[in-house]
Amino acid sequence: MIALSAMLALSGVGGSIPSVQAASIFSDDFESGNAGSWTHTSGSWTVVQDGSSHVYYQSGNTEGRTSAGNSSWTDYSVQADVKIDNFNGTNRTYLCGRYTDGNNYYAASLSNSNGGTLEIRKKVGGSSTTLATKTDFPVTAGTVYTVKLELSGSTINFYVNNVLQLNAHDNILTSGGIGLVAYKTAAKFDNVVVSTADFTTPTPSPTATSTVAPTATASSTPAPSATPTAAPTATATVAPTTTPPPATGSLYVSPNGAAGNAGTIGSPTTLDSAITRVAPGETIYLRGGTYTFSAPVTIERENSGSSSLRKNIVAYGNEKPVLDFFAESFGSTERGLQIYGHYWKVKGLEVKGAGDNGIFIGGNYNIIENVETHHNRDSGLQISRYSSSLSNMSDWPSYNQIIGVYSHDNFDPDNGEDADGFAAKLTIGPGNVFDKCIAAWNTDDGWDLYTKSETGPIGVVTIKNSIAYKNGQTSDGSSTANSDGNGFKLGGEKISVNHIVQNSIAFQNKKHGFTYNSNPGSIQLTGNTSWSNGQSNFAFDTGTHQFTNNLSFAGGSSDKTSGTDVLSTNVWWKSNASTNAKGLVASSADFASLTPSVVRNADGSFTLGNFLKLASGSDLIGSGTPSGTNIGATLQ
């Protein structure tokens, strides 16, 4: 056999293979002097002496293919010692799994191109595809490499010298034997072993259902023309999803990772370490479990991606990473995840318990998607300048997208006035958007777009397809005298900013559903529904605001609607009655259901069922503008 002392210890991004209980189902060290178990279909294959051992040698300069094993094999690993004597240019040598024939297989590929290249490749119906690539990896002629290809379901792992180098996912080929392919190379193979094992590569979590907000007690402000109802139980439905193929150069992080580890599945690193190491276009995959922190996790300003190569922090498959900051003390510097850089994407995480904001965004062009943030001691997610030295709006965070985020039960233990679901306030630039988000059970407001005279106007914020409910107290009833409890608070200190709010719903908030909060500008409110809030459903005392297709019903006090009622398409609640300039009147009969129901799905989207849906036959259907548009939100 090829001497192990001939191997090079290769540097790379991998870690050692975790121990598994393996059962060998095939092996060949060629010491018999023949290749009785193998069938070659092309090339020049012979068993030859190499040093003190026998090896299987392909000596031709055309493609050589040989195979062995059983076509019924599914999940297994195949390992071999590989030495390439001559690349004949920059050609490849493969170790193959799920090999059916020369036109159908998965392969671990080695070549000497680009300073040495490793690839996971597949060939289906004669067409080859590269699934994962690593360049600048030293692959030299005359050196022995122990190569291992591991196949488990759709997961494909490629190891070199017991170090995981590449990972990919593909489910086209499900079974087959093993193959050795020398594409125009002269190559030697030895010590081929096929094993079945309980592989440690991750698999998606099973289908589950979890409750993400407790059932509330009945609203303290009963709705006229409707039976008082309890706030909804916001449940989360989790459907199995396909684990995304990790990008080349991905880093893996787990709760028990170590900063000095390579960042592979088998040798995961820490989140702080991965953030400093991940390159533009690459992804940090967080394994499931609880990560405990006593200080903020910070992405510094100079640590940025680009418009074409974003940096990513993503939950691995269906696994749920939880960033727990409860060890922090209460205070303005004790945030959770701080993003000062640009062009980052964070997806699929849960952030809780921070001493201040759960997530703080001070950079530009970032995306936060399908995240849950809760029980923080200030706003769940805030966008503001990250340094008080940044006095110009051009330096303030701009063009960030917050998509499918659920922010709830955030509580300020000082006075209750700062813990909003979402705060885009004080010092933000243009282009920040909230889409398909939920703010509930926060002691202050659902959304807070506050401005101060010291810093002046902020950039226009767009909120769409979103819900704010039961703000003003947490789900366990915690509140303070200073808790405002607005659903959507859209200004402050009489500073004009023309925000945009579309197709959104506010219900059963302590104070107002939608409020200008002294913003005298021209806020555009289009297609929103506000129901059963403690005070006004719409509170816009002054300003030139633009109202189109909005629906108000059963508020605690009269709506105030300073501005333009575009084409008389708004139905208001004034003097304890429904009113509209064209004579439209809303009643409980116009709704399919006034029983609150908000169900949050695994992908961060939500459904309301029949709640606040217009009933069949309602004259509010099609009465908006443009012609045929409904009055009110359409989130069902």
pLDDT in tens, 498-509: 999 999 999 999
Higher-confidence residue of 474 and 223: namely 474
In one letter, which amino acid is 412? D
Q: Is the pLDDT of residue 355 over 90?
A: yes
What pLDDT score was predicted for residue 110?
Answer: 94
Does 443 score more than 80 pLDDT? yes
Q: What is the pTM of this model?
A: 0.65
3-state secondary structure of 567: helix
Average pLDDT over residues 90-108: 94
User: Which residue numbers are catalytic?
Assistant: 489
Side chain identity at 185, as an amino acid letter?
T
Helix/strand/coil for 5: helix
Query: Residues 266-293: what's their mean pLDDT?
Result: 95
pLDDT at 22: 52
Domain map of the chain by residue range? 4-197, 253-521, 540-636
Range name among 245-254, 310-319, 426-435 with the lowest pLDDT average? 245-254
Instruction: Tell me the C-alpha distance between 100 and 95, whole Å.
Output: 13
Higher pLDDT, 335 or 210: 335
Residue range 253-521, CATH number: 2.160.20.10
Residue 423 has pLDDT above 50, yes or no: yes
Contact 329, 370 (CB under 8 A): no
CA distances from 259 to 202, 250, 267, 293, 313 (A): 21, 15, 10, 14, 16
Q: Which range in 124-128, 223-227, 259-263, 526-530 is most confidently predicted, on average pLDDT?
A: 526-530
pLDDT score at 161: 92
246, two tokens: 């990790």
The topology under which CATH files domain 4-197 is Jelly Rolls (2.60.120)
Query: What mean pLDDT do residues 599-626 have?
Result: 94
Q: Across all residues in the chain, what is the average pLDDT?
A: 86
Examine the pLDDT at 25 and tell me if it is beyond 60: yes
Whether 202 has a pLDDT exceeding 60, the answer reads no
Contacts of 41 (CB under 8 A, 6+ apart): 65, 66, 67, 101, 102
| DSSP codes, 430-495 | S-EEEES-EEES-SS-SEE---BTTTB----EEEES-EEESTTS-TT----TT----SEE---TT-
pLDDT the model gives residue 598? 93
DSSP assignment string, 243-308: PPPPPTT-EEE-TT--TTS--SSSS-B-HHHHHHHPPTT-EEEEPSEEEE-SS-EEE-TT----SS
Take residue 6 and report the two structure tokens written for it: 């001939």
Cβ count within 10 A of residue 54: 21
Instruction: Look up residue 375 and give its DSSP letter.
Output: S
Tokens read off for 310: 């974003």
* Predicted pLDDT of residue 136: 82
Q: Cα–Cα distance between 586 and 499 in angstroms, integer?
A: 27
The predicted pLDDT at position 187 comes to 94
pLDDT band at residue 248 using 50, 70 and 90 as cut-offs: low
Lowest mean pLDDT among 172-176, 179-183, 444-448, 456-460: 172-176
Average pLDDT over residues 272-295: 95
- Cis? peptide before 202, omega within 30° of 0: no
Residue 414 has pLDDT above 60, yes or no: yes
pLDDT of residue 238: 36
Could you tell me whether strands 144-152 and 155-160 are parallel, antiparallel, or unpaired per DSSP bridges? antiparallel
Q: How many CA atoms lie within 13 A of 115 on its CB side?
A: 5
Average the pLDDT over 470-492 and give the result: 89
